[in-house]
Amino acid sequence: MERIFQEDNFIMLIIFGILIMLAFAMAFVLFVNYSQKKILKEQMRVQKLDFKHQEELLHATILTQEKERNRIARDLHDEIGSKLNVIFLNICRLKKFGEKDTEIEQITDEVETVIHTTINSIRFISHELLPPTLEEFGLIETIRELQHSYNLAGDLQIDFTTSENTHPIQNSLIELNLFRIIQELINNSIKHGKATEIDLHVSAEETSIKLTYQDNGTGFDSSQKSYKKGLGMKNIESRLRIINATYHLNSSKENGTNVVIDVLATPLHKT
């Protein structure tokens, strides 16, 4: 009887020991799981902070770029442009006094042509850096001016349209960033897509803006994971975040690139 009792106690001890081991094992598993979740959470927090830091740096870079563009544009217009105009006037005077001298007339004609071309180049560069039309007449007219300059050059044809009920965009921050985005898209179409035609449409309501961009370039497979965004697209995405906008990009080989941008319900008042 006593032997049976001892065996029962021994079995109970074994069972109790197994339960304790299972409890320790369960506690260990829970601890490891908790630790992994905590580590993952910390990694996500660090990544989020790193992304935020990178975004702030990119925003600061864009702001610095705009300030530098403004400075260079003003310097080109006020300093170099005005001095070239003075030189151009003096060449015209010299040409007038040297009408009887064929050699002088030929030289002045050549210098006049070079100065005239340089002045036009400076005006084009200044316009690209800081379009005066944007501040005075708004985004729509600035795009039309940009369209005219490209179409006049002949290498690229831009077809720009707007909806009949398009409202004036009176938010200068949105106008500036959308214009820079359009410039970047056109540059990408020319440089990477070898495009010759671009269709651009803008529709603006009181609380939203929609921009549709399509080129006839070589395109690429945007669905592939191997597709990497260059600095241009990163700048575009950063500018879109600045104005609370979203975009959808669709491209395939030999079918060009399509981009649709929506400025979300944001107050479009003057800034």
pTM of the model: 0.64
> What CATH number has the domain bearing residue 144?
3.30.565.10
Confidence (pLDDT) at 269: 45
Summarised one tens digit per residue, pLDDT across range 1-20 is 555 555 556 566 677 667 77
Q: Looking at residue 28, what is its pLDDT? A: 65
Same domain, 245 and 146: yes
Residue numbers of the domain that contains 217: 138-263
pLDDT at site 44: 72
Asked whether residue 241 is assigned to any structural domain, the reply reads: yes
Contacts of 21 (CB under 8 A, 6+ apart): none
Q: Do the domain assignments include residue 69?
A: yes
Query: Mean pLDDT across the chain, nearest whole number?
Result: 78
Domain for residue 104, yes or no? Answer: yes
In DSSP notation, 58-114 reads HHHHHHHHHHHHHHHHHHIIIIIIHHHHHHHHHHHHHHHHTTT-HHHHHHHHHHHHH
Domain limit, last residue, from 76, 107, 127: 127
Portion of the chain with pLDDT greater than 70, in percent:
73
Domain boundary among 98, 127, 156: 127
> How does pLDDT run across 138-166, given as a tens digit for each residue?
999 999 988 988 898 888 999 999 988 88
Higher pLDDT, 83 or 199: 199
Same domain, 6 and 110: yes
- Reported as a single tens digit per residue, the pLDDT across 72-122 is 767 776 667 777 777 777 777 777 766 666 767 777 777 777 777 777 777
Residue 270 lies in a domain: no
